[in-house]
Amino acid sequence: MSNVSYHISNLLEKMTSTDKDFRFMATNDLMLELQKDSIKLDEDSERKVVSMLLKLLEDKNGEVQNLAVKCLAPLVSKVKEPQVETMVDTLCSNMVSDKEQLRDISSMGLKTVIAELPLSSSGLTLTASVCKKITSQLIGAMGKQEDVSVQLEALDILSDMLARLSGALVSFHSSLLSSLLPQLTSSRMAVRKRSILALGHLVPCCSPALFSQLTEHLLTELAKGPPTSLTRTYIQCLATISRQGGHRVGEHLEKLIPMVVKFTSVEDDELREYCFQAFEAFIRRCPKEMSPHVATVTKLCLKFMTFDPNYNYDDDEQEEEDSMDIEDGLDEESDDEYSDDDDMSWKVRRSSIKCLEALINTRRDLLLSFYSSICPALLARFKEREENVRADVFAAFSTLLRQTRVGSSHHGLIVAGSDLGSSSEEEPAVAVLKKQVPLIVKALHRQLKEKSIKSRQGCFCLLTELSHTVPGALEQHIPALIPGIVFSLTDKSTSSTMRIDALSFFHVLLLSHPPQAFQPHMQVLLPPVVACVEDTFYKITSEALLVVQQLVRVMRPQGHAATSGGIDPKPFVREVFSVTLKRLKATDIDQEVKERAISCMSHMVCHLGDLLGADLPGVLAIFLERLKNEITRLTAVRAITLIAASPIKIDLSSILPEALSVLGSFLRKNQRTLKLGTLNCLTALVSHHASSIKPAALEPVLSELPALVDEGDMHVSQVSITLLTCMAKACPSSLAKISSSVLPGVFRLVHSPMLQGGALAAILDFIQALVLSKTSSLGYSQLLKSLTEPFHSSRSSADSGVIHRQSFHSVARCVAALSSACPKETPGSVAGFIQEIKNPGSPESARVLALLCLGEVGRSGSLGGSKEVQGVILEAFTSTSEEVKTAASCALGSMAVGSLNDYLPFLLKEISSQPRRQYLLLHSLKEVISACPASSLSPHVESIWSLLFQNCECQEEGTRNLVAECLGKLTLVNPAQLLPRLKQQLKAGSPLARSTVVTAIKFTIADQPAPIDSLLKDCIGDFLKTLQDQDINVRRVALVMFNSAAHNKPSLIRGLLGTVLPHLYKETQIRKDLIREVEMGPFKHTVDDGLDVRKAAFECMYTLLDSCLEGLDVLQFLDHVEEGLKDHYDIRMLTFLMLARLVSLCPAAVLQRLDRLVEPLKATCTTKVKAGSVKQEFEKQEELRRSAMRAVAALLAVPEVERSPSMADFANQIRTNADMASIYQSVQGGEGGSLGPTESMDMS
């Protein structure tokens, strides 16, 4: 300790030296000492250090002064409160000194101190007292009218302080306001500007009353009609406070808007600019409250975006096009004439265009009306002469395109060149946009040859957005665009970014349009792109290689695009090949260029390999080299895959043997993408080049496969099995030793509960290929035995739980695949299965499997209507085992799919005559309706329909749901006839029948486009009227159905939100009349019958956030979320999820309600479970707290959140409370604070 004091007093002594270098070095050493964490000072040293540093601030040498200021920062956290106060006092009094240098350095010192004051709750007292000191001094300094620079410094420091510590200054807010307002009338513009900034920082944290006072003041002053320069300041101030205070302005808009509108008519350009900036702030911050004023503001923007009084645009465009060269000459002169410095009109144009952009951004719901009002106006402004303004016009138009895309690609409907144009989801906005394309191109193609780089970049951005929004729309206009692209690539004065932009647009254009559109222009297009590949700047080279890769596709398209016409690629091959080869050979180039050169060359070999002649082996040898290099191996694997599958049959024999052994070694690597790429590559090689592969060459590959077939990674297993299937088909001899190596793994996979989907399909293909490959020792009976073996070992009953239900179905599918590959063997197997089922001694698992196998074999129709089989099934229905009964119902359904006429009448008869087995038989019927094509079902529709309606009022909810599912799926067979009938039933039936009908509608909504959609759209409103049903159960199923529609086909309900939402919100409220008390012995237990309905309603709300956000009034939505935060456990979990989602979707609205949302979150995070509660209770509470903390973490990720005093307080509480801090850390660490996959709700 004394050691430190000694060292420091030594330094202090040197600081008094007359030699400035000594002083400088000593101060520097002191700063290094202070920056160490370990340093502790006693009180005496503290005092000495502080007074010395303050003295050094007045040093004659500037460098020493600067260092002294830097020392203040670490000091703040190291010394005790009185010393900090001494520092602050001295600095403040120096602020008003006469010496300018001292003033400057002291204000720097104050800013340093403010930046270092602690924010945590432990240091808040210090912070508060220091702030009070500084504030009172600054308010005094601001009053000094005679010296402007003091005022400016004071305002600057105040802004800093308010920005960082506004919460600690609450007590000063009103005095600050009253001292800042007079500064707005100062004679110096700089003072006004800084006061506005300070007010901006004051606004987020001040009380609503103060905010109103400020707005009222501005309104009163503006109403007096002050001189223009003052009006400008007030309007600017309005814009700033609404940008910073956001939603609070909403309440005052009614009075503000007319005032601002009035000032746009004053002949003063800057004032107008500020007016539009204010409008923009209003629109961005309070989109909802602005609704009534949108029309007024749009009208003003449209009027002033063309405001250019000193310049005459030539309106006659035709003439302009003819006399373009003369026009250019004129243009330059006329620009000089008018670019006098007083012309500020461009500011008005720019601000009104920015205001329009804000409007487009915040109001997606008005998109269609924008296309009729704003779109033509923006198009007309493409000819703007001021390049900054023109860039903004382009930006606004790009925003319009982006908003259109957000709407139309809600379900990823955009596919280049496909004919999805007519699909039901195409929004009207896209259709309107398509009509505008010719006008857009006409306005832009001239700009693409302008000298101005900013304009050209704007054009390329806009055209890129257009290609993304409406792929294929530019096909007719490509000839008009090509000269512009070529100009930007070849123009000597063009910067490299411009070239990159032009290339990346060209790339998007090539991807989103059919190759035929570019073929006629190859001669013009290739040379400049090839020149870019040769460029010295690697980014240009790598973009150009991407473009070349697409151009190769254009020269000779493959697949369905290849048929029509085309060009002869021969003349172009040489030049493209030589530049790409040069890049491919080079090893000392950027990684990205390496990869793209490999990829580009592989496309060239794949499309044009037959034209490369003698160069081909050399290129393939390079690919082999790249395959052995760790950095490029993945790209090389993909390249070889592409070449192997090329329709022009490239001869790979020169590299095959070596490539196979290298590829085999990759299967051992612990890099999943490499494994998958390698497996795909091997599959392509085996399928297309089997004739040149010797079986021995495949051995190293085969020895790696057993490890890859494993339930740990289903996708890798699936691809591995696909490779085995290819081997079985192409070179069966290589599989001779397979039974000991890979097969056991495949069977393990078949018996795994994880197997489903793609992996199962791959195994079925493999088993069929294997049996047909006639490899020895792997015949039908062998495989059948291996598949069914585990089910026959009659284990002790304790152990029989090992076989999972899923594996029964997988094995049955495999058995059916086997028997369809060997039809001769089928009858024997069927007889075996029937024996198995009849044999009372066989284990239950074997009987279940035999039933399922019968069903799967029967699905292909190979059983016919055998009476014996029907008898066996009926007998199984009487079994005591639930498993056997269920299997029998599955089997019956599957067989009926195979031969409808034999089994369906039997099935329907049984359903009506056997009420006790109804549930099982309905399961069979559901299977039939789901799996049969509409054409074969239609003769039976009537009989099924009437039978289902006899059972739609069943008391059992499970049976009713099954009936509903059958009804829904049956309706899909003939929607035009059956949907109106369902609607009829709504009026007729009892509550149970109504709930069945509404649930049936849920099953008609699929996530793929279906013929029923347009009919559903017309009548779903009638079904949703059941949300107002008397019966609570009907309301619940109606909500579930609405949720399904919102999740799978939002387009069905978007138009109905206005009528549906009030009923939906009504269901989120807790209803006292549904809560009852049940006595359980000595305890009373409350039961809430309304809980399920509320849960369904909140689930709908969650879904709407994803699919119909623009149809929601978020603030109203938040009211109900807020109620849900205080509800039952399940609902709280849901609302925490919603809150986290809302924070990422519309932070502004959440901030508006923050103070009301913090309380329930805080309550959940701080609750403790009563001691002695059961374990479940603890876990439940823990899960709730974690979920609430996720919502808090999402909130804290929004920068402006801690401006709210209550939130800042809560954040401090979390940091200081160890328990909460640890939950917060774990939530942050686990999912990065954002909505991770673990958190999004399961909506299946």
For 452-482, what is each residue's pLDDT tens digit? Answer: 888 888 898 999 999 888 888 888 888 888 8
Mean pLDDT of 1214-1225: 82
Q: How confident is the model at residue 122 (pLDDT cuts 50, 70, 90)?
A: low
Do the Cβ atoms of 382 and 446 come closer than 8 Å?
no
* Contact in structure between 54 and 17 (CB atoms under 8 Å): no
Question: Which is more confident, 544 or 429?
Answer: 544
Tens of pLDDT, residues 222-241: 888 888 888 889 989 989 98
More confident residue, 653 or 641: 641
**Contacting residues for 728 by C-beta, under 8 A, at least 6 apart:** 735, 766, 769, 770, 772, 773, 775
Residue 843: what pLDDT? 79
Q: Kindly give the residue spans of alpha helices, DSSP state H, lying in 166-310.
A: 173-180, 189-202, 208-223, 228-245, 253-263, 269-285, 287-290, 294-304
Indicate the pLDDT class of residue 504, thresholds 50, 70 and 90: very high
CA angle, 1057 then 1063 then 1066, to 5°: 130
pLDDT value at 562 more than 70: no
In this prediction, residue 1197 carries a pLDDT of 84
Which amino acid is located at 909 in the chain? K
Residues 568-597 have pLDDT tens digits of 778 788 888 888 888 888 888 888 899 999
Q: Which element (helix H / strand E) includes 1083? A: strand 1083-1088
Residue 601 pLDDT: 92
pLDDT of 407 higher than 70:
no
CB 763 within 8 A of CB 809: no
338 has pLDDT over 50? no
pLDDT above 60 (res 319): no
Most confident of 433-437, 558-562, 894-898, 948-952: 433-437
Q: How far apart, in whole angstroms, are the C-alpha atoms of residue 159 and residue 677?
A: 57
In which band, very low, low, confident or very high, does the pLDDT at 640 lie, cut at 50, 70 and 90? very high
Q: Give residue 680's pLDDT.
A: 92
Confidence of residue 328 (pLDDT cuts 50, 70, 90): very low
Q: How confident is the model at residue 1020 (pLDDT cuts 50, 70, 90)?
A: confident
**What integer pLDDT is reported at residue 356 of this predicted model?**
92
Please report the pLDDT score of residue 863 as a whole number: 67
1228-1231 own/partner pairs: CB under 8 Å, 24+ apart: 1228/1193, 1231/1190
Give me the mean pLDDT over the 1080-1098 stretch: 85
Please say if the pLDDT value at position 110 is more than 80.
yes
Q: What is the pTM of this model?
A: 0.75
**Inter-axis angle of helices 882-898 and 900-913, to 10 degrees?**
140
Check whether 617 has a pLDDT greater than 80: yes
pLDDT > 60? residue 97: yes
pLDDT at 267: 86
Residue 896 has pLDDT above 90, yes or no: no
DSSP SS3 for 1075: strand
Q: What is the pLDDT of residue 1091?
A: 87
Total count of residues recorded for the chain = 1244
**pLDDT of 340 over the 70 cut:** no
Q: Is 60 left (phi over 0), alpha (psi -120 to 50) or beta?
A: alpha
pLDDT category, 678, cuts 50, 70, 90? very high
According to DSSP, the β-strands at 1075-1080 and 1083-1088 are: antiparallel
Can you state the angle between helices 387-408 and 345-362, rounded to 10 degrees?
10
Residue 352: pLDDT band (50, 70, 90) is very high
Q: How many whole angstroms separate alpha carbon 58 and alpha carbon 101?
A: 9
The pLDDT mean for the chain works out to: 80
* Residue 200 Cα to chain centre, angstroms: 32
Q: Given pLDDT bands bounded at 50, 70 and 90, which one contains residue 410?
A: very low
Q: Per-residue pLDDT averaged across 975-990, rounded?
A: 78
pLDDT for the residue numbered 326: 34
For a pLDDT cut of 90, what percent of the chain falls above it? Answer: 7
Average of per-residue pLDDT across 1077-1085? 82
Note the pLDDT of residue 775: 66
Section 783-800 average pLDDT: 63
Mean pLDDT, range 1225-1240, rounded to an integer? 52
Q: Could you tell me if 472 and 512 are in contact, meaning their C-beta atoms sit under 8 angstroms apart?
A: yes
Q: Can you tell me the distance from the alpha carbon of 1110 to that of 1051, in angstroms, rounded to the nearest whole number?
A: 12
pLDDT, position 754: 80
CA 105 – CA 226 distance, rounded (Å): 38
Residue range 917-926, pLDDT digits in tens: 778 888 888 8
Predicted local distance difference test score (pLDDT) of residue 1058: 83
If residue 454 lies in a helix (H) or strand (E), which one and from where to where? helix 453-469
Packed helices 1218-1231 and 1205-1216: angle between N→C axes, nearest 10 degrees = 100
Q: Among candidates 184, 196, 198, 277, which has minimal Cα distance to 227?
A: 184
Lowest mean pLDDT segment, chosen from 128-137, 597-606, 788-797: 788-797
| Residues in Cβ contact with 1026 at an 8 Å cutoff, skipping those fewer than 6 apart | 986, 994, 998, 1034, 1035, 1037, 1038
| Amino acid identity for residue 228 in this structure | T
**Looking at the predicted structure, is the pLDDT value of residue 873 above 80?**
no
- pLDDT at residue 1235 greater than cutoff 50: no
Task: For the chain, count helices (H), then strands (E).
Answer: 62, 2
Q: Select the more confidently predicted residue: 819 or 719.
A: 719
| Single-letter residue type at 72 | L
pLDDT at 320: 41
